Amino acid sequence: MHAFNVVTWQIDDVDAARDRESKGRLLTQMYERIGPAIGDMNRAMHEVRLDGPAPVSDAADHVRYMARHVQQRHGALLDDDSPERRDAYDAAYRAFREAYVTFVGLARGALEAKDP
């Protein structure tokens, strides 16, 4: 999960780039790293999806879906870094983050020991 966030946070470096060539290079580097980061996240969540309580498993699947949505929106920036495309990327990341926070809350709740 951390690796995925590290990649997505690099959008700040893209924003700071001075020219289109630098922005394009940074966006491409991000795109090359985002897929493997999603793969790592998928492996980490595999047992949760299989063995976790249904709400936690569903939340894990939703996080995976939202991460792929971020990846798609990022891919769109490679050809068109217009404000509209950037806004779509930002919205996808916010939705991913919300899904992740929900997942963590559910997972923590499932791990808490209940007194009989």
Residue 115 lies in a domain: no
Reported as a single tens digit per residue, the pLDDT across 35-54 is 999 999 988 888 787 788 89
Residue 14 lies in a domain: yes
The domain that holds 79 is classified in CATH as 1.20.120
Q: How many domains, in total, are found in the chain?
A: 1
Question: Is-above-0.85 flag for pTM?
Answer: yes
Reported as a single tens digit per residue, the pLDDT across 78-93 is 989 899 999 999 999 9
Residue 6 lies in a domain: yes
- CA-nearest of 53, 64, 50 to 99 is 64
CB 96 within 8 A of CB 70: yes
Q: What is the domain extent for residue 24?
A: 2-109
CB 53 within 8 A of CB 41: no
**What is the Cα–Cα distance from 58 to 62, expressed in whole angstroms?**
6
pLDDT for position 23: 93
